[in-house]
Amino acid sequence: MSNLQNRIQTLADSFAQGVLAAIRSASLEEILAGGGAAPKRGPGRPPKVAVSVPKAAPANPPKRGKGGRLARRSPSDIEHVIGLITKALGDAGKGLRSEELQKVLKLSKKEIVGPLTQALASKRITKKGQKRATTYFAK
């Protein structure tokens, strides 16, 4: 062992012996009290610290609400999207998958799922296949 390692080992041993001597000389009440340790807090999550940073309002407010959900759409809005879907499927002729419809109509998946389901239920469109291989056709 080198001289540095010997010095470190000697210091560590003396520190450990000093701590043990302090514990042995302390009373049980002192040990259980914690010797001035930080007070324990109650159960539950600590309150959040409020940081007031003013945020600028976006120029174009997003269509989404809390959690990335779409804002509630009126029945006329949904009918309009169903009309767009049936027109796009009619123009395509060979049928389109959902991803292709999203690209053609420039809508997100969240915006197209509900109207697709309603169009299928009202038999305005048909589908063939399962999962991602589903192809939709105009009736």
Whether the pLDDT of residue 101 is over 70: the answer is yes
Please report the beta strands in 34-107, taking only residues with DSSP state E, as ranges in sequence order: 96-97
CA angle in degrees (0–180, nearest 5) for 76-80-82: 115
Domain spans in the chain, listed from the N-terminal domain onward: 3-33, 72-138
The DSSP H or E segment spanning 15 is helix 3-25
61-79 pLDDT, tens digit per residue, is 445 556 677 788 888 999 9
| pLDDT on residue 41 | 72
| pLDDT on residue 53 | 60
Whether the pLDDT of residue 93 is over 60: the answer is yes
Domain 72-138 fold is Arc Repressor Mutant, subunit A (1.10.10)
| pLDDT on residue 54 | 61
| pLDDT on residue 134 | 92
Structure-token pair, residue 2: 């080198």
Whether the pLDDT of residue 28 is over 90: the answer is no
